[in-house]
Chain A
Amino acid sequence: MSTGPDVVVSGSTATRQRLRALIRKEARQLLRDQSNVLVGIALPVILILIFGYGLSFDVKNMPVAVVMEDASPTAQDVVSGFYLSPYFTPIPLASLHDAEQLMLARKVDGILYLRSDFSRRLAGGNATIQLLVNGVDANRGRIMQGYARGAIAQWAAKHASTGTANPAGAVTIEQRLWFNEANNSTHFLVPGLIVLIMTLIGALLTALVMAREWERGTLEALFVTPVRATEILIGKIVPYFGLGLIGLMLCLLAAKLLFAVPVRGSLLLILLASMMYLLVSLAIGLLISAAVKNQFLASQIALITGFLPALMLSGFIFDLRSLPLAVRTISHVMPATYYVELLQTLFLAGNVWPLIVRDCAVLAFFAVVLLALARINTRKELD
Chain B
Amino acid sequence: MSATDVLELSAAQAADAIAAGSLSAAELFDAYRARAAADRAAGAAGLNCFTWVAGDGATPEPAAGALGGVPLAVKDLFCTKGVPSQSGSRILEGYLPPYTASVVRRLEDAGASLLAKTNQDEFAMGSSNENSAFGDVRNPWDRERVPGGSSGGSAAAVAAGLAPWALGTDTGGSIRQPAALCGIVGLKPTYGSVSRYGMIAFASSLDQAGPLTRDVRDAALLLKHMVGQDPCDATSLAFPGEIELPTAERLDGVRLGVPEELSGGGIEPGVLEAFRAALAQGEALGAEISEVRLPHAPHALSAYYVIAPAEASSNLARFDGVRFGLRAASSPEGENASDLLDMYTRTRHDGFGPEVKRRIMLGTYALSSGYYDAYYGRAQRVRTKISEDFRSVFEQVDLIVTPTAPSVAFELGEKTADPLAMYLNDFCTVPMSLAGIPAISIPCGLSQGLPVGLQIAGPAFSENRLLNAAYALEQSLGFDGAQARV
| A, B assembled together | no
| B contacts, CB < 8 Å to A | none
